[in-house]
Chain A
Amino acid sequence: MSSKLYDPERDPVRIAGRWVRWGLAWVAVPAILGVFMAGNIDVHALPIVGPERETAVLFQDGQAYFGHLDDSGESGTLVLRDAYYFADAKGAPTGLSVGLVRRGAEAHEPADGMRINRDKVLALEQVGLSSAVAVAIQAERDIDHASASPLSLNRMSVGSAQVLTLQRTAAEHDIQRGYAAATDQLAKLNELVLPVTKAEAQTINQKAIADLQAVRRNALAALAVALGTNANEAQAYASATDAVLEGQRFANEAAVLLAPNLNSVVSRAAQLYAQVGDVYAKQLTEPRTASPSPTPTSSPRP
């Protein structure tokens, strides 16, 4: 009799259960999903809404890395992709104390994706897209002919032709500044009292200048090759630019952070300028010893 009076549709426990299930499915789950997605996605990084998001990871030991950061995991590890970092460049002709290097060209040739221990991180910052670092990275992508994937949530920006022209010009001026510094060093050395005759010093200087010019020409050719021209065009470009740069100093020009490919050309040129300078400085400052005669003198007989 009582079972006939029982209507499950009016049972308050069942009604409450239905509301709880409905609330979970249509309110709680979307709310949790919304919080989770917002915590892991920067709305400005979405391809339609905003531009690329480049993050600076500053380490406790003073190092700085830049790239696309994935901090969505709960494992205490951050993943940085397409990573670049600052390398020491004190005394370089760029006029900056650091140079930008792309991660991946080291001796162990690491694959893309640095896994970083969060405990070693000092701070995370968003890189300004018009900053020197961002522009150098964009230029590097242009040199490498990198293209942005349409499916990426953080689409990379690629430098324009104008950016590349500015970078090329800055690299040319850096190469010339390195050359000017090396010739200045040589001139200072010649002001000292040298253990060689004036004629010998002049010959050494001429050789040194010729070698430094060869370094500059080769650096300009390497620059052209790095920018994607073929070997013949690179030589023609080097000869033409070499003539334009001759005698210029660019001393008060604002420093430009170069794309890693161009920076490596400038750094190599600076190394070679230093090597050439050292070799000829040694020749200028070391006293000449009497050269041994080609035939041995006959020893006095007893």
Chain B
Amino acid sequence: MNAIGNRYRRTALWVRTHGGMLRNVGLATLVFVVMFFFTQWWDFTVPSLGRPQYQAVFLTNGQTYFGRYYDRIGAYVKIEDVYYLQEAQSTDPSQPSGTKLVRRGAELHAPTHRMLVPKSAILFVEDLTDASPIAQFMAQDRR
């Protein structure tokens, strides 16, 4: 019992002596963890208020992606819930082939909903109006 008491007193003394240092280390750890998770959540995206929900992103190779576009600090922009136009083969050869809007994710590598695009690969970005059939399709498809 006496040995345990001594050990407790020594520990308490050590904590009192190094209290300032312990407080500082605790604070630094807390700041690190908070900033780490804040940055993960923030994802370096630049806030865009009052902007339409969906955008069309035209790329330098001629492809176009539709989705929720986020400008980011750094080399990449982010597109979430990505859709693209795909030529649909008509079963009737006399009918011209049309295009259909496809949600990205059913490809062989089953990509997740988030796509990063280098800014150097972007030609221009346009907002889609609420009346846009593509925006309406995407909004309906998400529900």
Closest to A64 in B: B109
Closest to A136 in B: B108
In the complex, which residues 96-143 of chain B have their Cβ closer than 8 Å to any Cβ of chain A? 104-105, 107-112, 114-118, 120-121
Q: Is the CB of B40 within 8 A of A43?
A: yes
**Number of B residues, CB within 8 Å of A:** 38
Q: Is the CB of A118 within 8 A of B27?
A: no
Q: How far is the CA of A39 from the CA of B37 in the complex (A)?
A: 10
**Number of A residues, CB within 8 Å of B:** 41
Which of A29-37, A175-183, A210-218 binds B? Answer: A29-37
Interface string of B19-56 (1 = CB under 8 A from A): 00000100111011111111110001000000000000
- Chain A CB within 8 A of B86 CB: no
User: CB < 8 Å: which of A32, A56, A118 contacts B109?
Assistant: A56
Closest to A28 in B: B31
CB within 8 Å: A-B pair count: 117
Q: How far is the CA of A15 from the CA of B116 in the complex (A)?
A: 47
In the complex, which residues 32-88 of chain B have their Cβ closer than 8 Å to any Cβ of chain A? 32-40, 44, 59-61, 63, 65, 74-76
Interface of B, secondary structure class, is: mixed
Q: Is the CB of B27 within 8 A of A26?
A: yes
**A134-B109 CB under 8 A given contacts A118-B120, A121-B121:** yes
- Chain B CB within 8 A of A9 CB: no
Q: Is the CB of B35 within 8 A of A122?
A: no
**A125-B120 CB under 8 A given contacts A34-B31, A34-B36:** no
- Chain B CB within 8 A of A98 CB: yes
**A128-B61 CB under 8 A given contacts A118-B118, A123-B115:** no
- Chain B CB within 8 A of A119 CB: yes
**A128-B37 CB under 8 A given contacts A27-B27, A34-B31, A122-B121:** no
Chain B residue numbers with a CB within 8 Å of A259 are: none
Give residues in B with beta carbon < 8 Å to A: 24, 27-29, 31-40, 44, 59-61, 63, 65, 74-76, 104-105, 107-112, 114-118, 120-121
Give residues in A with beta carbon < 8 Å to B: 22, 25-27, 29-35, 37-39, 43, 56, 60-62, 64, 66, 76, 86, 96, 98, 118-119, 121-128, 130-134, 257
5 A-B pairs (CB sep. < 8 Å) = A29-B28, A30-B29, A34-B32, A37-B32, A124-B117
